[in-house]
Amino acid sequence: MARLPRFIVPSQPHYIIQRGLNGQPVFQDTDDYTIFLGWLRAAARTYKVAIHAYALLPDQFHLLATPADEDGLGQMMQWLGRCYVPYYNQKYGRAGTLWHGRYKTSVVDADHFLLTCCRYIEYVPVRAAPAAAAETYPWSSYAHHAGIRNDPAVTDHPAYWSLGNTPFQREAAYIELSAQYLSAAEIATVEAAVLKGWPLGTDKYKKDLEQKAKRQVLPAKRGRPFKQPQSI
């Protein structure tokens, strides 16, 4: 199936994945993670992109972010690459690209999938085994949402604020919600959408996107169109 063109919608959250070339490491020590996060904060501020959730793993990173316009997300990712890749290559004596192709992204239906994506992202380190528990992993946004520490990289989304009227209520509700692990079906739904560039949302949300964008945002149906029988 042909890959759909990248689809960016201003003021809508997007799930972004960028992986290391051929599964190679992109972060090897604390300085790498810290420097990347600093550049992420700077790039998000410069290009008006709100970061709602993230997870940095040794060979990849995941973001949930809302751009203010059509260009900001792409500009932020390009700026990150121009800053981080030369730093990493010089430090580790390598040359060439660091990433495994272009980053992948999916527009997210905030009303139905924003918190699902947050939970998916923050538990990637647990599923991938760098961390025994989300709360102990230092390179994700879970600690911010759970009230363990404030993270200046994170801009809380209204969906997170809807969990309670006070910070304590929101944090407690998020901890309780995160304790309900995503099902295999939910994980498969998120992964299929992001890796293939499909919108992640309800059928109505997807249809509305197609109508507003006036372009295809869903995969075309396979096979030839059904041929009506000719009348005799």
SS3 (DSSP) at 161:
helix
Question: CATH number of the domain that 129 lies in?
Answer: 3.30.70.1290
- At residue 221 the predicted structure's pLDDT band, cuts being 50, 70 and 90, is low
Which residue range forms the structural domain that includes residue 144?
14-201
Examine the pLDDT at 225 and tell me if it is beyond 90: no
Residue 42 resides in a domain: yes
Residue whose C-alpha is closest to residue 118's, from 127, 104, 108: 108
Residue 89 resides in a domain: yes
Residue 77 resides in a domain: yes
- What is the per-residue pLDDT across 3-46, written as a single tens digit (0 to 9) for each? 555 789 999 999 999 999 999 999 999 999 999 999 999 999 99
**Cβ(8)–Cβ(40) below 8 Å:** no
State how far the alpha carbon of 92 is from the alpha carbons of 19, 24, 26, 32, 85, in Å: 18, 12, 10, 11, 11
Amino acid letter, 103: Y
Q: Indicate whether this model's pTM tops 0.85.
A: yes
Residue 172 resides in a domain: yes
* Length reported for the chain: 232
pLDDT over 70 percentage in the chain = 90
Residue 133 resides in a domain: yes
Examine the pLDDT at 212 and tell me if it is beyond 90: no
Residue 220 resides in a domain: no
| CA 135 – CA 222 distance, rounded (Å) | 43
Residue 216 resides in a domain: no
- What is the per-residue pLDDT across 49-67, written as a single tens digit (0 to 9) for each? 999 999 999 999 999 999 9
Examine the pLDDT at 218 and tell me if it is beyond 80: no
SS3 (DSSP) at 105:
strand
Look at the chain and report how many structural domains it folds into: 1
What is the mean pLDDT of the segment spanning 105-117? 96
Residue 54 resides in a domain: yes
**Cβ(170)–Cβ(164) below 8 Å:** yes
- At residue 230 the predicted structure's pLDDT band, cuts being 50, 70 and 90, is very low
Kindly give, in sequence order, each residue whose CB lies less than 8 Å from that of residue 84, ignoring residues fewer than 6 positions away: 35, 36, 39, 98
